């Protein structure tokens, strides 16, 4: 599978991109507690700039590769690899063309492009 199913890519859930998200297309889904899950896809690859969050982050790579830093550690992730980034830990990295991943955030990380569904 090279992309997420159409029902997961509805325009009402499209993420408003930021410098931290880099060159990725994302779609957000929210929990009742304010947590978020985002599906990411980058056709061309790109970079996520150094940043931190006030909440934990979980990532699983589905396709492509991610090479970056989490605190003092360098990580390399491929399909099936997962990691947890604790709150307050700086992280950044580069992702390959055709990168797809799912990130879960313990707080509100992204905004939608559209404010209404």
Cβ–Cβ under 8 Å, residues 16 and 26: no
**Domain contains 4:** no
Which residue in 96, 92, 91, 64 sits closest to 80, CA to CA? 64
What global pTM score does this model have?
A: 0.90
Helix boundaries (H) for the chain:
none
Please write the tens of the pLDDT for every residue from 2-40. Answer: 889 999 999 999 999 776 666 789 999 999 999 999 999
pLDDT for res 2? 84
For residue 67, give its domain range.
17-112
Which residue in 47, 4, 44 sits closest to 26, CA to CA? 4
Rounded-to-integer distance, Cα 38 and Cα 74, Å: 23
**Domain contains 74:** yes
CATH number at residue 105: 2.60.120.10
**Domain contains 41:** yes
pLDDT for res 17? 79
Please write the tens of the pLDDT for every residue from 86-104. Answer: 999 999 999 999 999 999 9
**Domain contains 56:** yes
**Domain contains 2:** no
Count of domains forming the chain: 1
Please write the tens of the pLDDT for every residue from 31-87. Answer: 999 999 999 999 999 999 999 999 999 999 999 999 999 999 999 999 999 999 999
């Amino acid at each position: 599978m090279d992309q997420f199913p159409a029902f997961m890519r509805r325009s009402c859930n499209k993420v408003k991109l930021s410098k931290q998200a880099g060159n990725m297309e994302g779609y957000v889904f929210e929990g009742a507690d304010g947590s978020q899950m985002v599906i990411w896809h980058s056709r061309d690859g790109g970079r996520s700039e150094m940043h931190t969050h006030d909440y934990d982050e979980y990532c699983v790579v589905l396709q492509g590769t991610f090479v970056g830093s989490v605190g003092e550690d360098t990580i390399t992730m491929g399909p099936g690899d997962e990691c947890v980034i604790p709150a307050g830990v700086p992280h950044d990295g580069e992702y390959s063309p055709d990168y797809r991943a799912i990130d879960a955030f313990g707080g509100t990380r992204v905004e939608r492009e559209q404010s209404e569904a």
